[in-house]
Structure 1
Amino acid sequence: MLLPLLYLFAVARLADAYFSILVDNNTQVDTSDCPITYYGQEYTTVYTNFTGEHLFVCFNGYYTPEGNGDCIRMPNSDNKTNFVLNNNNDPSYWTYLTDFVHSSVSTVTNNMTCYLHFYFTSSMALFSMGSQSVVYYYGTPPMFVSVLVNGDVVENVFGVQYVEVLSDTSGCRISGLGVKPGTSRQNLETCSSMTCSNTSIASMKSCGPSGQCDGNGTCSVKGLCTVTGPTIIDFNGQINSVSDRCEYTLLLDQNTGLTLKANFLERRRRDVSFVDSLTLDFSDSDDIQLLQGHRVMVAGSPVTLNSSVQTFSGVDLSKDQTGVTVGFSVSGSSVSLFFDGTTAQIYIETSAGDSLDGLCVDSSNVSSSRLSSDSSCQDEYVDPADDTIDCAAVTQQCNILKSAPFSSCNLHVDPEPYLIACRSTLCKYPSVDNLRCQFLEAYVKACEKKQVNIQNWWTAAQCHHPEPVCEDKCSDHEFCGDIHGINDCRCRAIYASQYTEQNRLGGPTVCQDNTASLSLVGCLLKENAIDYTHLHLNDKTCTGVMDPDSHMVSFSFSSDGCGAVVTTNNSQVIFTNAIVTRNSSSDVITRQDEVFIEFSCSQPKPELQNVAFKIIDNSVEIVLQSGEWTYSLTMKAYSDAAHAQLLDPKSDVRLNQKIWIVLETNGLDGNLVSVVTDSCWATSDESSTSTPRYNLIKDGCANPDDGTVQVMGNGEGTSNSFSFNMFEFSGSGPSEVYLHCQLQLCVKKDNNCVPGCSPVARRRRSLRYRRGAPALISMVWTH
């Protein structure tokens, strides 16, 4: 290739398509007919000068040892050179040279249009290829050409004897430094990694907005990250906010996988979130959670802390009345974390390299830092604007951070991010729960990290020292806030809305078997100034029970207890009660609103289905189904009053012998219903409607004409019995006697299921069972 390329240079000169000059020291040449793009800059002038050993071809002025020139340096001890600018119009000529360059330099794709040629003992040319350029060099050893950008050597081009050397000089110019296409270079002073793609697209990675470079290529992240309310102020002082109720990465150590997570939840409004808890997630040891109420969990179990430091899995933990302090390390970096339930502050004290990520490193990466897998946490709510908020007054109150005594720290800690956090939150969310003062306190604590202590700021800001945190553990649907002047567990807005939007305090009623229960929301009771210990059912001895974890207050009663009122409605049995306020008759005053919450349950009224049995000298049992009620009905015959001697097929029953009949059910609630034997009679035929017929029980009472009949327990429970002396029908001789009984179920109330059988006037009281299709059960004896 050597001879043809040099030959083409010679042919071009003979073709009179160039201009040629002899260059000696300090020569400036206009090259606008062949502009050169050199590391991102286009030049139309070249400057040449000699140093006795080298020729410098520069584009932005003559070379000086202390200068910042864009230059090409090559060996030349003759202190002179010939210069040719070639831009002839022969397409085949440029096609050949273009193919030559493409085969030699993989990063160049444009076509050549002209070149600048410097020739003497050796030969150097700059090929112009639009937005790209290539340096060509040929000479006798030593072949040593240097490419400079801003006086900095980007590349030293070496070659061997009689070999042409080409190098792409398009490149990228990043922070004033040149980077060859398809390569990267490091700047130790700025800790930056600069990359130039094959197509000369520049990119750079540095310590990041919060990083600091130590000048030796090592990044350090030093600073304070504050998370207060919905706002994140990152290490670099940049600010962003969380608008949903998801979990986010605050800090991630990519080397070890250690992650500091923050979970955000709503409080009084559904559309404003607050940092609610923190989790230190270790890849190889137990997680540590910092929760509301200064509570700490290690591996899911609570730990008791005090002001003395305790160590768990290499993490230092301590607690005082202001909050919990945690000390740990990431990649050799010391990290201090403080959390008081509203504000989290993370301080990195030493160099941490460039392996950190998360919202504390760059608060703008909110979407990529979201961790929650349940997308419902991203649901958006829009609550009505709070018309009690005066945003102008809020702004003035927050601006105190620029006034004394806070201003003494303004030069050390920029107050603007904290002002924005204070204004943006309190212009939408009411200034309750000591919230404005907590934003101010976050700034004070940031100042303390800079060794600036702001004295007596509580008085100047008209703040009071925070009340002790809620002594009782607030449940997941509660947060610690002000209730009527004291700190207590308030309901979170989203949870409470399912009740408040329906003007309820709890519910719904839960019905099971013959019991009813209703749970009231403890935090809603507190917010409405209702003391659950002053509530009871109709029976004052039946009070509510509070669950220690959920703080739900449950009231329950059975159909026959706690003053329940039992009624019937068509086919339903309804039992009702009410939660009311306990007021003593001796009370002169009361500070509670009266409470009346009625609740009830209903069940299908059970019925005995029509059944008939013909079993000689034995007992009979059948299982019946009526709606939700499943029960069995049994008729048995005994030869003794104690119901111990069951009559069976082998038993002899004599005329005038007393026998006892027991009618019994199983599976019915004896507190709710009773079994009433409505009538019993005998026939000589298996049909219950045949004649002759002899009545033993009629309308629930013994036949007054038969002194041997006695009825026991009728209508008092789920079983009853009667007795009579055995007989046979006259004139029929020994035969079968069929005994038939009809039964009803009665809903109990005030014992009015018991038939009123008077010895004088055998009229019954009104029973609470439905007449109509009573159950029929039969027995038969053979004499």
Structure 2
Amino acid sequence: MLHPLLYLCAIIGMAGAQTYIGSFGNNTVVNISSCPITYYGQQFEKLYVSRNKPTARADTKVSKPVRSTQQRKKPNLCRFDSVYELVSGLCVCNLTVTSRHLSGMTLMYNESRVVDCVNVTCDDAAVFNTSAPCGPMEHCENNTCMVDLVCTVTGPTVVEFDGTNNYIPDRCAYTLLNFSDVVVSGKFRERRRQDMSFLNSVALSVNNTYFYLEQGGIVRLNSSLQTLNSSAQDFDGVELSKDHTGVTAKSSDSNFDITVFFDGYTAQIHFKGPDLCVSPSSCDVQYNDTTDSTINCTLMTERCNVLAEAPFTACHNHTDPNPYITACNDTMCKYPSVDGLYCQFLHAYVKACNLHAYSTLGNWWTNYGCSPPKALCQDKFCSDHEFCAVASSTDEACFCRAIFASSYTSNDTLGEVTECMGSTARVTLVGCLLEEKGINYTNLHMNDANCTGRKDEQDHRVTFIFDSSDTCGAVITTNGSHLSYANSIVSSFNGSVVREYVANISFSCHFFHPDNETMSFIIKDNSVVTEVTSVFGNYTLSMKVYTDSIHTRLVESEVELNQKIWVMLETEGLEGGFVTLVIDHCWATNESSSNANLTHDLIVDSCASSADGTAEVIVNGEKTWSSFAFNMFQFSGYSGDIFLHCQLHLCDSANNRTCTPTCPVSKRRRRSSRMQYVNEAPAFITMIWSN
């Protein structure tokens, strides 16, 4: 029986075509062009005969085979593009693709193999199938499709890995990259406007170890501050380094590299790996702010569009400038052109270009009024309510965040409300508000030029304080209702030319004179305390009764008629040498009202009343406390409570002023017989304070 191929040719030969007649050797080639064979869509014009195994090779382009609905025997044929051959029942292909690894590949039927990121399969029809190669943003590395991308975060804009822009509307932390056990997030805070947020810090989490990259080149490992230099140091598998341009953190594994760069305002994440995940999430309150009418948006758009021109065109093939131009326009048309913000966008684009192609574009900044690449506010600390930026003098300074500053600017003030504590006055100015005005706190002093402010190195507040030991030139006045002392914070300069804001901040403290104070003697209480309060200052006034002249033994329970007692009126919260307490008038009544019909004077016009005979002034107008004494009595015909009332005032004793009253010398007079002790149940009395 003829072989099927020979049989077909024999039939054709019988029809009159030229017929090959001869014997076959070990390797014989028969020209069958006059009788071509079509097999699974492939036309054969030569027949190769071997005594071992036949081999078919096509010399023409393969057309796609048309499958029959009938069950066919699996052919021993391999096809891919224009070259195929059959060897020992295996598909052996010389592929016309560019990869040298696919050339001469041998596959069994239904076998698959991944080569140069291409999945190659020999199917049951002896046809090679290939998967799509790596995507447009990927490249093949170690037989894995990898990405080599840069995400840039600058101002309020995130330029994503795919070149799209995300605008951050609020003050929040956003996840910028989440891959494997590595999470990179950025925290956004407001600057000069309440409705715009800017990148403030970057956090890198690797296997639950947290690295915080903050303004000023500050780096914390969890909560521990780290000291870095330009040489990379390993911290739990993360390489950290710091130079004049910023801080770099790098985390690597067998199949990815993640590099985070932060210069204080711009962060760039360079990712090399098989896949990535970006999942921003929003939080916090969004604020509204008034439109800044001073911004020339047309001019700012022209300035931002320079990224489309030379020398930046050298980067266009691998770093699209459009997301950066859009980010620049969106920001600069809303935010004032201060703080070096415009140059920040140009630097961000050039840095992204450098990460892609290691191109620096030379000294491009000289043509745009920008400084060379450097980290903003390197090693300069700003508190949480501040942000660091370039001042008008090109120096870096800490300025107030808009939300924090709003409570001060709405009241047109530079600091806190004056604190009045007794004879001490304290004024605290906010350091970043002084920076806004261009005021150098070292040039400020009170009326006395030697009294300067002290700056807190943590929150940068500047405090001015004076007290009775050093009034710092305070002016002290008094009238019928209150005592006042005033001072000023002013600027001082050397020379005849001034180029900064001249400060003149006045502040004062006022203390109301005490109202009439009333004490009633009932049973057991030996002292009463009240607090004299005003919107200007507070102090405490107390009245205590003792049984000895040195004020050591308080009345415990009972006092006999005609027993001598010492009454002490004392303030707390006022410092001696600055103000003193003066008793004007003390009198007793048989009712709680100080205007009762039945009264008895003990102190009149700051001196002992001659009507009592036992009263004497011990201390009055010399200190922040006063004292007097008298012998206990009761009203004739009354066995009820006795109420003691005292009227006092504060006296300015600074600058050697005399507050001690001058009293006439008089003899004591004995009380009348009705005040003497009588043979009846003794009166037991206690003092309480009655307002």
Determine if the alignment matches structure 1 residue 480 to structure 2 residue 406. Answer: no
Write the mapping of 1:24-39 to structure 2, written as runs, cut at 5 A: none
C-alpha change, 1:396 and 1:576, in structure 2 (3 Å) is same
Asked if structure 1 preserves the Cα contact closer than 8 Å seen for 2:304 and 2:328, the reply is yes
C-alpha change, 1:664 and 1:384, in structure 2 (3 Å) is same
Compute the TM-score of the two structures, normalised by the length of structure 1.
0.58
Q: Distance in 2 between matches of 1:208 and 1:779?
A: 112
Q: Deviations over 1:155-174 (max 9, x none)?
A: xxxxxxxxxxxxxxxxxxxx
Q: Which amino acid letter does the alignment assign opposite residue 611 of structure 1?
A: M
- In the TM superposition, what is the alpha-carbon distance from 1:601 to its structure 2 partner? 5.8
Residue 222 of structure 2, aligned match among 299, 320, 330: 299
- In the TM superposition, what is the alpha-carbon distance from 1:440 to its structure 2 partner? 2.3
Q: Which amino acid letter does the alignment assign opposite residue 234 of structure 1?
A: E
C-alpha change, 1:334 and 1:661, in structure 2 (3 Å) is same
C-alpha change, 1:214 and 1:578, in structure 2 (3 Å) is same
Residue 353 of structure 1, aligned match among 261, 274, 289: 274
C-alpha change, 1:445 and 1:209, in structure 2 (3 Å) is same
Structure 1 residue aligned with 2:211: 288
C-alpha change, 1:758 and 1:530, in structure 2 (3 Å) is farther
Determine if the alignment matches structure 1 residue 312 to structure 2 residue 266. Answer: no
Write the mapping of 1:421-432 to structure 2, written as runs, cut at 5 A: 421-432=327-338
Residue 416 of structure 1, aligned match among 304, 322, 327: 322
Structure 2 residue aligned with 1:496: 405
Asked if structure 2 preserves the Cα contact closer than 8 Å seen for 1:677 and 1:720, the reply is no
Residue 312 of structure 2, aligned match among 406, 422, 432: 406
Q: Distance in 2 between matches of 1:644 and 1:274?
A: 65
Q: Distance in 1 between matches of 2:466 and 2:114?
A: 79
- In the TM superposition, what is the alpha-carbon distance from 1:51 to its structure 2 partner? 7.2
Residue 74 of structure 1, aligned match among 70, 76, 93: 70
Structure 1 residue aligned with 2:344: 438
- In the TM superposition, what is the alpha-carbon distance from 1:723 to its structure 2 partner? 7.0
Q: Distance in 2 between matches of 1:228 and 1:694?
A: 81
Bigger drift between 476-485 and 403-412 goes to 403-412
- In the TM superposition, what is the alpha-carbon distance from 1:401 to its structure 2 partner? 3.3
Determine if the alignment matches structure 1 residue 235 to structure 2 residue 161. Answer: yes
In structure 1, the residue corresponding to 2:521 is in which secondary structure? coil
Q: Which amino acid letter does the alignment assign opposite residue 75 of structure 1?
A: Q
Asked if structure 1 preserves the Cα contact closer than 8 Å seen for 2:561 and 2:675, the reply is no
In structure 1, the residue corresponding to 2:146 is in which secondary structure? strand
Structure 2 residue aligned with 1:743: 646
- In the TM superposition, what is the alpha-carbon distance from 1:304 to its structure 2 partner? 1.2
Q: Distance in 1 between matches of 2:401 and 2:554?
A: 66
C-alpha change, 1:537 and 1:410, in structure 2 (3 Å) is same
C-alpha change, 1:696 and 1:416, in structure 2 (3 Å) is closer
Structure 2 residue aligned with 1:269: 193
C-alpha change, 1:369 and 1:712, in structure 2 (3 Å) is same
Q: Deviations over 1:76-96 (max 9, x none)?
A: 6xxxxxxxxxxxxxxxxxxxx
Residue 453 of structure 2, aligned match among 544, 552, 558: 544
Q: Distance in 2 between matches of 1:648 and 1:394?
A: 82
Q: Distance in 2 between matches of 1:748 and 1:676?
A: 10
CA RMSD, 1 decimal = 5.0
C-alpha change, 1:579 and 1:51, in structure 2 (3 Å) is farther
Q: Deviations over 1:183-218 (max 9, x none)?
A: xx99998889xxxxxxxxxxx9997774445695x4
Q: Which amino acid letter does the alignment assign opposite residue 176 of structure 2?
A: L
Structure 1 residue aligned with 2:89: none
Q: Distance in 2 between matches of 1:650 and 1:74?
A: 127
Asked if structure 2 preserves the Cα contact closer than 8 Å seen for 1:481 and 1:487, the reply is yes
- In the TM superposition, what is the alpha-carbon distance from 1:537 to its structure 2 partner? 4.3
Q: Which amino acid letter does the alignment assign opposite residue 266 of structure 1?
A: E
Q: Distance in 1 between matches of 2:614 and 2:419?
A: 50
C-alpha change, 1:347 and 1:779, in structure 2 (3 Å) is farther
Residue 457 of structure 1, aligned match among 364, 376, 386: 364
- In the TM superposition, what is the alpha-carbon distance from 1:316 to its structure 2 partner? 0.8
C-alpha change, 1:231 and 1:210, in structure 2 (3 Å) is farther
Asked if structure 2 preserves the Cα contact closer than 8 Å seen for 1:606 and 1:626, the reply is no
- In the TM superposition, what is the alpha-carbon distance from 1:417 to its structure 2 partner? 2.9
Structure 1 residue aligned with 2:682: none
Q: Distance in 2 between matches of 1:237 and 1:434?
A: 24
- In the TM superposition, what is the alpha-carbon distance from 1:454 to its structure 2 partner? 1.8
Compute the TM-score of the two structures, normalised by the length of structure 2.
0.65
Corresponding pairs, count:
552
C-alpha change, 1:187 and 1:515, in structure 2 (3 Å) is farther
- In the TM superposition, what is the alpha-carbon distance from 1:315 to its structure 2 partner? 0.8
Q: Distance in 2 between matches of 1:243 and 1:723?
A: 72
Q: Deviations over 1:348-392 (max 9, x none)?
A: 34xx223x201xxxxxxxxx511x5x532xx0424313434252x
C-alpha change, 1:543 and 1:637, in structure 2 (3 Å) is same
- In the TM superposition, what is the alpha-carbon distance from 1:308 to its structure 2 partner? 1.4
Asked if structure 1 preserves the Cα contact closer than 8 Å seen for 2:587 and 2:601, the reply is yes
Q: Distance in 2 between matches of 1:614 and 1:143?
A: 121
Q: Distance in 2 between matches of 1:191 and 1:338?
A: 34
Structure 1 residue aligned with 2:151: 225
Q: Which amino acid letter does the alignment assign opposite residue 280 of structure 2?
A: S
In structure 2, the residue corresponding to 1:428 is in which secondary structure? coil
